[in-house]
Amino acid sequence: MLNNLRNYVPVFVPAVLFVVLCSYFFVQIALGTEVKVRIQGFDPRDLLAGHYIRYSIDWENTDCAQFLNKVCPQKDFEQSYKFYVPQEMALILEREIQNTQNQAEIVFSYQNGKKPFALQLLINGKSFEGKNARF
């Protein structure tokens, strides 16, 4: 019995931790409120680029009224982020984001004082929805 337990516990720990991690992120996202933050394209020259686009937050053009006390919580956000997309869409999206005519935004799930979770990429208010997306 003890021997069985010694085998069962170690082999199932990775799966249990996977569930715990996923649940934690789902709960954190559910507890946050959705905020829209303006973004700017980032230098795309990155050796590992392909499955994501890099962006930085454009606080000057972000509506700070959606946050507590109408103050943009800049310190809760990082300088730059990656948004994971299908590889064939990365270049197209990068161009769309860098196009100054477009208004690029990320919808975050945000809790005051905590790290935000990116949920959606919006270009001119339209959500990026897979490889057939058009803006």
Residues that bind other proteins (CB under 8 A): 6-15, 17-19, 21-22, 25, 29, 51-52, 77-84, 86, 89, 115, 117-119, 130-131
We find the least distance from the C-beta atom of residue 94 to other proteins, in angstroms, to be 15
Using alpha carbons, select from 100, 89, 82 the residue that is nearest to residue 133: 89
67 vs 83, beta carbon nearer other proteins: 83
CA distances 55 to 14, 16, 18, 30, 87, Å, are 32, 33, 28, 24, 16
Count of helices and strands (H, E) across the chain: 2, 6
Q: Rounded to the nearest whole angstrom, what is the least distance from the CB of residue 12 to other proteins in the complex?
A: 5
| CB-nearer residue toward other proteins: 11 or 65 | 11
